[in-house]
């Protein structure tokens, strides 16, 4: 009986600890706007603990992006860059919550002093491999449905063509790419071609959402006659009237008289 009581006390004591470790991931949503509150689409957002490989991506048309982060007591570095705006860098803490929102307001202009890297690179005498950045592509239609089996080409017009990917059942595909600017081309039968240029920083993940539009049916040919078949009004047929031959006159009959 005493053993049962001790087990119950230990269970109650460790219950808060077990509950505190339930949220292994927290959905962090970034809302990026200018000083007037207007959303900034296409802003690059990178977040992660210091001196580690951060994850990130581009904000959507509403200036928002959601990323999965591991909560903890450490500080994470949040960096937001957008063309024509001063970069923003701050320290944040990812709380042990299922979801949280951070708002970032950016000022128009350039601030080169804030572009210094957070972590200094360590020189090595070993032969270093070319820096790589990981890219993830999500393909969906205008109704929000997944587009599986879509073909994704990286730099198809470049002499050094990139990989050719294929989306899975949930419309996703990913690959490692060298750091730099790349052209992403997504094609799928029945949809219009989608093309986008994206800059992939070294050792940073990028997320791209490709929305395909259904191809218009203007080019459908309803009837294509064979060139051997001539269409039009048939040629007239002329019938020659022949004279009636060998026709004798009918014999006359006497008329009856009525008295």
Q: 215-225: per-residue pLDDT in tens?
A: 876 654 555 55
Total domain count for the chain?
2
Residue with tokens 């879509």: 150
Structural domain boundaries enclosing 66: 25-115
The residues, ordered by sequence, that sit 6+ positions from 61 with a Cβ below 8 Å of its Cβ are 39, 41
16: β partners: none
At 137, is the secondary structure helix, strand, or coil? strand
pTM above 0.85, yes or no: no
Helix then strand count (H, E) for the chain reads: 1, 14
- Judge whether 9 lies within some domain: no
- Judge whether 183 lies within some domain: yes
Query: What is the band of 207 on the pLDDT scale with cuts at 50, 70, 90?
Result: confident
- Judge whether 89 lies within some domain: yes
pLDDT in tens, 89-119: 888 888 888 888 999 998 887 655 444 444 4
Q: Are both 101 and 52 inside the same structural domain?
A: yes
Domain harbouring 62, CATH code: 2.60.40.1120
- Residue of 160 and 146 predicted with greater confidence: 146
- Residue of 67 and 249 predicted with greater confidence: 67
- Judge whether 230 lies within some domain: no
């Amino acid at each position: 009986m005493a053993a049962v009581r001790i087990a119950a006390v230990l269970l109650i004591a460790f219950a808060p600890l077990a509950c505190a470790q339930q949220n292994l991931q927290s959905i962090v949503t970034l809302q990026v706007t200018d000083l007037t509150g207007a959303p900034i689409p296409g802003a690059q957002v990178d977040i992660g603990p210091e001196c580690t490989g951060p994850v990130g991506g581009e904000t959507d048309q509403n200036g928002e992006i959601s990323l999965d982060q591991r909560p903890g007591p450490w500080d994470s570095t949040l960096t937001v860059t957008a063309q024509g705006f001063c970069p923003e860098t701050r320290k944040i803490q990812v709380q042990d919550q299922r979801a949280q929102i951070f708002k970032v307001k950016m000022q128009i202009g350039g601030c080169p002093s804030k572009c210094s890297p957070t972590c200094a690179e360590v020189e090595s005498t070993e032969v270093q491999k070319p820096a790589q950045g990981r890219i993830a592509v999500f393909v969906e239609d205008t109704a929000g449905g997944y587009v599986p089996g879509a073909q994704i080409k990286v730099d198809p017009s470049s002499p050094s063509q990139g990989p050719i990917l294929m989306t899975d059942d949930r419309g996703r595909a990913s690959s490692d790419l060298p750091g730099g600017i790349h052209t992403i081309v997504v094609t799928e039968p029945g949809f219009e071609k989608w093309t986008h240029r994206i800059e992939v920083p070294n050792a940073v993940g990028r997320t791209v959402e490709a929305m395909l539009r259904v191809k218009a049916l203007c080019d459908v040919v309803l009837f294509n006659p064979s060139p051997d078949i001539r269409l039009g009004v048939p040629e007239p047929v002329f019938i020659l009237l022949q004279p009636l031959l060998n026709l004798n006159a009918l014999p006359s009959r006497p008329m009856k008289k009525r008295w």
